[in-house]
A and B are shown apart, each in its own frame.
Chain A
C-alpha cells in the first residue's frame, strides 16, 4: 500500500484544525460579544452559568442544535436549505491559505489572497438566496440591502488589498508577511495607513457588522435575511459571520500588521494576539456606534472610500514604479 501523500495529510489535518477552531471561536466570540456589550451598556452581561458566564454560549449552542427546523409556507425548499450551507462551507476554504506562523499554513499557494477574495464572494450569494427563498418581505428587504452593500464595499476592499500586493509584488500572504519586520515600524501599516483604514471600514461592511449591519437590522427588519431560519439553519449563518470576521482580521494582520512577526513570543502567538485585538476592535465598534442609514452607507462607500482607495492605489503604483527606476 502506498503511503499517503504529505500534502494531502497536511490539508486533512489543517481542515480538522480549522473546523475545530471555527467552532471554538464561535463560542468564545459569543461570550466576548455579550460581555463587552454588557459592560458598555453598564450591565454585567451573562454571569450565571459557569465562572463569569463562560459556559453560557455552550448552553446556547446546545439549545440551538436541539431546536426544530422550520420552513415557511411557500418557500423554495432547495434554495432555502442551500443558503445556510453555502454560507458556511466556503468559510472553511477561506482559512486554508492563512499563514498563522512561518510555514504554518494549510495550503501553500502563491495566489492565497485571491483565493480568499474569490470565495468570500459566495457569502453574499448565501445572503441573497436566504432572503429570497424565505418568502418573507423582511427577508427580501434584507437580501436587497445585502446585494447593494456587498457589491459596493467589495470594490474599496479589493483596491486597498491591491495596494499592499503592489508593494509586495505578490498575492501570496506568506510572502507579504515575510517582507515585513519584527517591530511595528517595519509593518505595512506604516507605509499604507490609508489602505489599512479603508480595509477595516469596508471589511466591517463586507461582514455585515454594525454599524453596517443593514441586511439584518433588527430594529427595522426583525432579523433581515435570516428572519425565517430556526435552529442550526440560523446557527450556520451565525457561525459563518464570526468565521468571516476571523478571516477578515487575519488577512488584515498578515497584510498590514506584520503577520507572525513580533519580539520575544513565538510567531503563531503573535498572530493570534493581533487577530484577537482586531476582533475586539470590531466588537467595540459594533457596540459604540449607531447603525448608519442606508443612503449614508452608500455615500460613505461611493463618495469616500472608493475615490480614496483609487487615489491610494495610483499613488502606490507611482511610487513602486519610481522605486524600480531609482
Chain B
C-alpha cells in the first residue's frame, strides 16, 4: 500500500512538473493554459492522496472549471496567436529574476523539509465537510481571512498592471 502511494505520488509529481513546464514554456497561450490545467489536476490528485477529497474536487470545480475558463475568455478577447509578443524569448535579466524567485521559494521550502522532522507518517484521515467549515470559521479564522487578502492583492495588482499599460500608450 505504501509503495502504491509512492508510485502515485511520483505520477502526480510528474504531471505537476510537466504541466508547469508547458505552462511556462509554451509558445502559444492556449497551450500554456492547457499545461496549467494539467498542473491543477495534478495538485487535485495530491489532495486526493492526502485523503482530502473535498479539497480535490473543489480544486477541480473552482480552478479548472471556473478560473481556467475565465482565463480562456481573457485569451480569446485578446489577439493571442502563436507569433505574438509573448512568443519571443525573455531578456536575460528577466530570466535571472525568475530563477532567483524559484530558488528562494524552493530553497526555503526544501530547507524546511530537509531539516524538520516528519510531523506524521500515518495514513491521513478524512475530515468531514462539517468539521472543515467549523474550523474555517473558528480556530483557523485568521488564515481564512488572510487568504482573502491575497486574493484582493492579486486583483489590485491586475488592475494596476492594466492601468499602467493603458497610460503608457
Chain A residues within CB distance 8 Å of chain B: 76, 78-79, 82, 109, 111, 114-115, 117-122, 124-125, 128-129, 132-133, 140, 143-144, 147-148, 150-151, 154, 171
Contacts and interface: CB of A to CB of B under 8 A. Distances in A.
28 contacts: A76-B30, A76-B31, A79-B30, A79-B34, A82-B34, A109-B53, A111-B53, A111-B54, A114-B57, A114-B61, A115-B57, A117-B57, A118-B58, A118-B60, A118-B64, A122-B65, A124-B65, A124-B69, A125-B64, A128-B69, A128-B72, A129-B34, A132-B72, A133-B30, A144-B76, A150-B69, A151-B70, A154-B65
Given A79-B34, A117-B57, 14 more contacts: A76-B28, A111-B53, A111-B54, A114-B57, A114-B58, A118-B58, A118-B65, A120-B65, A124-B65, A125-B72, A129-B34, A147-B69, A147-B73, A151-B66
B16 interface: no
Contacts of A129: 30, 34
Contacts of B66: 121, 151, 154
B129 A171 contact: yes
Contacts of A133: 30
Interface residues of B, number: 21
Residue from B30, B37, B57, B66 having most chain A Cβ neighbours under 10 A: B57
B68 interface: yes
Contacts of A121: 60-61, 64-66, 69
A151 B60 contact: no
B60 to A, nearest CB: 4
A125 B69 contact: yes
Contact of A140 (B58, B69, B76): B76
A147 B72 contact: yes
Nearest 5 A/B pairs, CB to CB: A121-B65, A118-B61, A118-B60, A118-B57, A114-B57
A236 to B, nearest CB: 18
Contacts of A132: 30, 72, 76
Interface string B63-89: 011101110110010000000000000
Contacts of A119: 60
Interface residues of A, dominant DSSP: helix
Contacts of A147: 69, 72-73, 76
Interface of B: 28, 30-31, 34, 37, 53-54, 57-58, 60-61, 64-66, 68-70, 72-73, 76, 129
Contacts of B70: 151
A129 B38 CA distance: 14
Contacts of A78: 31
A101 to B, nearest CB: 24
Contacts of B60: 118-119, 121-122
